Amino acid sequence: MEKDWPSGFPGINWLGRQEEEAVADVVRKGALFRYYGPQSPTHVDQLEEYARTFYDVDHALAVNSGTGALFTAMSALGVGPGTEVIVPALLWVATVTAVIQNNAIPVLCEVDRSFNMDPEDLEKKITPRTKLIAVVHMAGTPCDMDAIMRIANKHNIPVLEDCAQCNGGSFRKRKVGTFGKVGMYSLQINKNVTAGEGGLLVTNDEKLYTRLVAAHDLGVPWKKGLPDETGEVCFWGQGRRMGELAGAVANIQLRKLSHVIAHMKASKQRIKDMLGHMEGVSFRRLNDPDGDTGPFLILMFDKESHAGGVAQHLTNGGIDNVFHLSNYGLHIYHNIRSLVEKVPLSPAGNPWSLSQNSDSLFEYGKGTCPTSDDLFERSVIVTIPSRLTDEQELEMTQAIKNAIVANVTS
């Protein structure tokens, strides 16, 4: 492979002078805190203002990380002891961590051939304790939000959309993150746009927004630049404010998101077109091809050995960030040791030992989601860098073809 390939971290490839100037502005002013300082801070406010427009929502809240956004959202939505949260078998560990940290019980749902939450299995997993459906738009492409929202509305259960890997994606021309009660986006270094760390929450519910503001900080909301200790909302906060340095970078990066996505989608589509229809391999189903953001290509094979061989062949050939999906680290439910072993938050044994959760007898080891396990074992995920040249696309395509021929069709 060529030595000078763009980073596999999408937003990093688009960092430039604008981000430098924005950070320098923060340093010159000494206004590193988002709410006050020697001079008025502006960048986090500008980020939230632009986010409201970009996602077409009434409220946006910047926080210190995507994980922090999940914790904040679940806390504000009342997730706690005696409640269950449905999560997909393919996710990132942070999603299930947020459930555990709120002393609730995660319930695993199968994924379908889109590698997103399977609506049919979702409805089977709903119980009287179900407090929240945590949808995860995985590997750059949206879930079937029409089907999921029909089920959620039928049972009157709120939906949290985890869009960490699909920032800027859409379903039927509507941005992911805006279908449910609240949407979350990550700005971590390997996301579509980045501030190194950071997160965003969006909602159209004013009361929930007030609770989000309180939960992410002091336990009471900020109003007119001061903590409001006289209102109805008062509980424990989490200290998850975004600082101005991260806000300065995020504010510029978010304005580049459409360009980042356009490049990744175009590269991915050209690679798929060049691969064509090869024996023994197919692509994941896209619930809305137009809404795909393009950072990953998932290849599906007939046999586990084919998937493992192709992944190893590509890795040996110098293609970075390729995984046999069953080995995709903490994205796969049964690879999350703390979940499988039900590791408690403290010696008290919570959340599984709490009396409120005593009837929630769920297991998390391999085999819990057999349909998903089969898909994981037969699939390979390949990162699509956000600034590939035509030559690099050709080289990547040829490498994939060679791996398939060597391990599948030979």
Active site residues: 191
Residues 250 and 198: beta-carbon distance below 8 Å = yes
Cβ–Cβ under 8 Å, residues 28 and 41: no
Cβ atoms of residues 195 and 253 within 8 Å = yes
Check the CA dihedral 162-165-168-169 and report its sign: negative
Q: Are 276 and 43 in contact (CB under 8 A)?
A: no
Round to whole Å and give the CA distance between 50 and 128: 39
Which residue matches tokens 């994939």? 400
Q: How far apart are CA 36 and CA 40, in angstroms?
A: 6
The gap from C-alpha 56 to its chain's centroid, in whole angstroms, comes to 19
Round to whole Å and give the CA distance between 106 and 130.
10
Alpha helices by DSSP H, 125-256: 145-155, 206-215, 244-254
Residue bearing tokens 């946006």: 60
Cα–Cα distance between 163 and 160 in angstroms, integer?
9
Provide the Cα torsion 215, 216, 217, 222; round to 10°.
-80
Q: What is the largest CA-CA distance in the chain?
A: 72
